[in-house]
Amino acid sequence: MKALVKRFWAPVVILIMVASHAAVIGYIRSRVAHLNQSQSNAVEIGLIRFQNQADPDHTYQFDLHAMVDPTRRFQSEERLSQMRLEIIEASEQVLRQVDRPWLDDPTHQDIRGALMDVVLKNLDEPLVQRVLITDWLRSESRITL
């Protein structure tokens, strides 16, 4: 028995070390794969472009995004994609008529509030937590004859 233990103790120790390393690596890979599958809870609605009645010399445009509940992301994304054009059209109609000072506000609080109302009116249920405005651009309108 002692001869058997002396002969095989090193391979057994090596086998245990390899198995424990494989278990740790497998666990780490499964956690990383799980992290890669988690998605952002921001859903892009689309590009909004408009001219305000109070400022006809400028054209404004920005990207509109909706922050949704991560547990209902798929349902929210599906519904927002179905209502995308209606939301963009209603948003542009509202923005054409907003007060001029709203367009100069760097935080866009009033505009975001108005757009949130538009988004919620076009959805059957409150799937959107808030809206985000990115890539705000103000450019001069060119009139060519």
Question: Concatenated DSSP letters for 72-126?
Answer: GHHHHHHHHHHTHHHHHHHHHHHHHTS-HHHHH-TT-HHHHHHHHHHHHHHSSS-
- Tens-binned pLDDT, residue by residue, of the chain (145 aa): 777 777 788 888 888 999 999 999 988 888 877 665 566 788 999 999 999 888 888 899 999 999 998 888 888 889 999 999 999 999 999 999 988 888 888 888 889 999 999 999 988 788 899 999 999 988 887 655 4
* pTM (two decimals): 0.68
Strand order, beta sheet including 42-52: 42-52, 55-68, 128-140
Residues 49, 61: Cα–Cα separation, whole Å: 4
Cβ distance 96 to 55 under 8 Å?
no
Amino acid at 144: T
- Cβ atoms of 43 and 89 closer than 8 Å: no
